[in-house]
Amino acid sequence: MPNCKRCSTGFEIVDSDREFYDRIGPVVAGKKFSVPEPTLCPDCRRQRRLSWRNERVLFQRDCDLCKQKTFSMYSEKADFPVYCIKCWWSDQWDPTFFGQDYDTSRSFFEQFQELRKRVPRMALMQSQNENSEYTNCVSHLKDCYLLFSSDFNRDCFYGVWIEKSKDCIDNILIDSCQLTYESIFAQNIYNSQFILFSNQCSDSAFLLDCRNCSNCFMSYGLRNKKFHIANKEYSEKEYFQKLKEFPMSSYSNLQKAKAHFFENVLNASNPHMRKRGTIIDSSGDFLTNAQNCIECYDLTEAKDCKYVMGGFEIKDAYDCCYVSGELGYENCECVPMPFNSISCSGSYAGSDLYYSDICMNNCKNLFGCVGLKHAEYMILNKKYSPDEYEKQVAQIIEVMQKAGEWGDFFPAKLSPFTYNTTEAQENYPLTKEECLARGYHWQAKDQREYQPQSYDIPDDIEDVPDEITKKILACVDCGKNYKVIAQELKLYRNAGLPVPRKCFECRHGDRMKLKNPRILYDRKCDKCSVDIKTTYSKERPEKIYCEPCYQESLS
């Protein structure tokens, strides 16, 4: 068992891993270049990839081409050009203009970094949206705000991984929901709040792992139930009468209800894995219809994957984050992932891409390229004939092999993002001093975003005036300023919910705490003692059951 060269943790490499590393390796100029066994553990590899993904931290800056104001995932202090979406996709510039020759005497990553800093980057990852400018990694949105990694939504605000939903606020990993608030890993939810790991529920609040329920409150593990409070059944009249004891329009009362839910309901028995659909020979958490997916998280419709975090309709992938598609290794933010690709970032569709960044629209046979569209047989943005391309690529890989670079994802210190604005910071937090010691970059706070709040928010939503949309509010946790938009206020009023006292990032952080860290532990079922793999460590107080025991506990 090798030890990680960064953190010294031991990790396992099995024969099936070696078979994949051989299969993903390209044949170039008649020679097979297998990917070597990794020298970093799965966690350190994931941290490195996530350091190349800024999902939620946005800035206002000027486009470096048209000079108009735009929102961007890059600050105005970035040391490379940034174009607004319209300019980046325009024909006003040519990425091949920045092409350069490969120098065998220098590190490939050093030469790639020189190219990466010269080629304009797209301010945001957006496609086919309407009135949804303040979003990122999204498509097909209408009238949405602060939505990220989401598709096909309307009138949704403050969420991550929201799919095919409408009129929803403050959610993570929800699908086909409407009028849903503060929910996680939920599907087909209507007019409900604080719904965790549940499906097909309506007109409810504070539910954990419930299925096909309506008019239920503060309950867990229910199946096909109505009019339940704290897992006790009431008549319809009794239910609505008792529900009056839990007014949620008051911020102070809502905080008490949340505390009760977290202290009592969340300490109920839990399954070793949160899942939906059919799960076969898989481990991890938040899986939907997965087969042979090992140590994977947040996957939907996946097969034959390992160490993948965030993906849908994915097959034959190792060590990837936020991808779809087939046959990829060490890729990040590739939707769809280029077929047969290694170490790509933000590159969509195409095939046979290696070490390429933001290359779009069915590119093929690229190595070390940045910002290309409909391109093929290019190295460091320079065009070659097919034969010369293969000859050059073979030479580059041989040099990378000697340097120990071949097969590794781009180093975190080469990332276009400051570390603390990336998902690496969310999953693997570092201090400023730790970041700088590793050669990473750090984003300083903008003091303009931390002005004192001069407005007292009424406790009850019924007392909140329209003027609140013009007020500057300050988060009670971090002090950062935030605002309430008019569409958001309307949804709070309709749902009878108070205005939040925290900024979006702190609310998101609270929700993320309800998801376990993406680490698998070996432990035993608390009922039958069978061995299980779970994201619940042995030190956790909850009772964790294997699947049969958990289902039995619900009956």
Average pLDDT over the chain reads 96
Structure confidence by residue, pLDDT tens digits, 208-233: 999 999 999 999 999 999 999 999 99
d(C-alpha 257, C-alpha 182), whole Å:
13
Written as six digits, the tokens of 423 are: 């998902």
The span from the CA of 339 to the CA of 352, in Å, is 6
CA distance 121 to 281: 40
CB–CB of 272/536 below 8 Å?
yes
Q: What is the pLDDT of residues 23-42, one digit of tens each?
A: 999 999 999 999 999 999 99
Q: What is the pLDDT of residues 458-483, one digit of tens each?
A: 999 999 999 999 999 999 999 999 99
The token pair at 108 is 């490939």
pLDDT at 454: 86
Q: Which residues contact 19 (CB under 8 A, 6 or more apart)?
A: none
Mean pLDDT of 421-438: 96
Q: How far apart are CA 505 and CA 321, in angstroms?
A: 21
Could you give the CA distance from residue 204 to residue 465 in angstroms, rounded to a whole number?
A: 27
pLDDT for the residue numbered 157: 97
The H-or-E segment that residue 157 falls in is strand 157-163
Q: Token pair of 190, please?
A: 């209507």
Report whether 378 contacts 372 (CB < 8 A).
Answer: yes
Those residues whose C-beta lies under 8 Å from the C-beta of residue 485, and which sit 6 or more positions away, are 145, 157, 469
- pLDDT band at 457, cuts 50/70/90? very high
Asked if the model's pLDDT at residue 341 lies above 80, the reply is yes
> Which residues of 9-144 form beta strands (DSSP E)?
27-28, 31-32, 59-62, 69-72, 82-83, 121-122, 126-127, 136-142
DSSP calls for 279-325: EES--EEEEEEEEEEESEEEEEEEEEEES-EEEEEEEEEES-EEEEE
Does the pLDDT at position 239 exceed 70?
yes
Sequence ranges of the domains in the chain: 275-306, 307-403
The percent of residues in the chain predicted with pLDDT above 90, rounded, is 95
Comparing C-alpha atoms, which of 71, 50, 44 is closest to residue 60? 71
DSSP β-bridge partners for residue 138: 126, 150
Confidence band for 541, pLDDT divided at 50, 70 and 90: confident
- Find the mean pLDDT for residues 374-392: 97
pLDDT of residue 542: 87
Give the pair of three-digit tokens for residue 342: 């290694």
Q: Name the residue with tokens 């700088």.
A: 436
Which pLDDT belongs to residue 242?
A: 95
Greatest alpha-carbon pair distance for the chain in Å reads 80
Half-sphere exposure of 394 (CA within 13 A, CB side): 12
CB atoms inside a 10 Å sphere around CB 74: 23
Q: Residue 500: is its pLDDT beyond 70?
A: yes
Alpha helices in 475-526 (DSSP H): 486-495, 504-512
Q: How confident is the model at residue 555 (pLDDT cuts 50, 70, 90)?
A: low
* Segment 352-365 mean pLDDT: 96
CB count within 10 Å of CB 346 equals 24
Query: What is the pLDDT averaged over residues 174-182?
Result: 98
Centroid of chain to Cα 85: 21
pLDDT computed for residue 263 by the predictor: 83
Confidence of residue 265 (pLDDT cuts 50, 70, 90): confident
